[in-house]
A = this chain, B = another copy of it.
């Protein structure tokens, strides 16, 4: 049985969208309303061979996918640097940390240290549920791993510490509402951000 929130909302999957498409659409929505400028970075590609046919566009003939050295998304919202990645799992009860590369966590941590708002969007595909997990909560789960802790974050923990993101029509994923809460919480702590 899905709870009311889930019954009312139609997930990106229900709408035939990948998580990436849903995030991109949400970013376009925010961008069009001058709320935020957040983009997905292009996939890094190592180009080996390019041909230049006469009177037409250059054609890449041999290239390889490279590992990304950062997260997929960054930008600006309310004067804040925003940095995140969107991940999905087919697991029902936990999110496997193997979805992240160590250098992505390091990148989020470095940006957080410099004052950025850094997080993960985590989608549980079986239940169509989506959460924003803030950087510090992600980092502590990651660090416990190397201290003999578990290799995944229990969904229960994500439900408690993270922000549940309902699906909407506009934007599909209203994740900046959760970012507003992070900013408000931080202001409460420090009286500045």
In angstroms, Cα B45 to Cα A62, docked, is 13
Cβ of A140 within 8 Å of any chain B Cβ, yes or no, is no
Given known A59-B64, A65-B60, A78-B115, contact A42–B39 (CB-CB < 8 A): no
In angstroms, Cα B34 to Cα A130, docked, is 32
Categorize the interface residue count of chain A: 35 or more
Cβ of A63 within 8 Å of any chain B Cβ, yes or no, is yes
In angstroms, Cα B41 to Cα A62, docked, is 20
Cβ of A160 within 8 Å of any chain B Cβ, yes or no, is no
Interface positions, chain A 8-67, Cβ under 8 Å from B, are: 31, 34, 36-37, 39, 41-45, 57-65
Given known A60-B65, A61-B61, A63-B60, contact A76–B37 (CB-CB < 8 A): no
Chain B's nearest CB lies how many Å from the CB of A181? Answer: 19
Nearest chain B residue, comparing its CB with the CB of A116: B76
Tell me how many chains of this kind the complex includes.
Answer: 2
**B39 engages A69 (CB within 8 Å):** yes
In angstroms, Cα B117 to Cα A186, docked, is 22
Nearest chain B residue, comparing its CB with the CB of A114: B76
Given known A39-B69, A42-B42, contact A114–B64 (CB-CB < 8 A): no
**A114 engages B69 (CB within 8 Å):** no
Chain B's nearest CB lies how many Å from the CB of A34? Answer: 7
- Of the candidate stretches A84-92, A94-102, A105-113, A161-169, the one touching chain B is A105-113
Cβ of A152 within 8 Å of any chain B Cβ, yes or no, is no
Chain B's nearest CB lies how many Å from the CB of A73? Answer: 11
**B62 engages A60 (CB within 8 Å):** yes
